[in-house]
Amino acid sequence: MQLKFKDNEYELKLEKQNDNQAIVINNEKFEFSSILIDTNIFSVLFDGSKTNVYVAEDDSRFYVNIDGNNFTLEKVKAEEKSFGEEDKNLGDKQIVKPPMPGSIVKVLVSKGQKVEEGTGLIIIEAMKMETTMYSSISGIITEVNATAGEQVDSDKVLLTVEKEKAE
């Protein structure tokens, strides 16, 4: 199984180790022992400390809680491994998507406009809170795909900013 946490990917494999259990995380092996308490609850002895580990999942993530620390671990699907870079902002291009589903309050820029790094691009409202999204690069707005009042999902590309090509 492959998971992602804060830009790092982790390849995981459980193993039996005599009476104990073990996990291989990115080629490094760790021993631990665990008891299944209930579907979402494991008592895990690892690194000299025993704590309950609470786990749940949805289609795209595992949610884990240990002693007040919450981890959201993204599932890395097989087809994404080779195309995983597609959505990244590659330094000379910024693809702006909403941080969460919401409605567009105002589009602050138009196609063809030159923007500086830090320029406000678009204002989105979700859960009664307005958020302004800013340009992370200096460049030109090459695409505007949003209008005020529109309801948008978090995977919609709203705007694209591209660096001007050096002549």
Which segments within 19-152 are labelled E, that is strand?
20-25, 28-38, 41-46, 49-57, 61-66, 69-75, 93-96, 102-107, 114-115, 120-126, 129-134, 139-144, 151-152
Residue 133 CB: number of other CB atoms within 10 A? 18
- Applying CB under 8 A, the site for another protein has a residue count of 54
When asked if residue 71 is in the footprint of another protein (CB under 8 A), the reply is yes
Q: Which two tokens stand for residue 55?
A: 């786990």
How far apart are CB 12 and another protein at their closest, in Å? Answer: 5
Instruction: Find the binder of another protein among 67, 79, 85, 167 (CB under 8 A).
Output: 67
Q: Which is nearer to another protein, 37 or 90 (CB)?
A: 37
Where in 96-115 is the site for another protein (CB under 8 A)? 99-102, 105-106
**Interface pattern 36-65 for another protein (x via CB under 8 A):** x--xx-x-x-xx---x-xxxxxx---xxxx
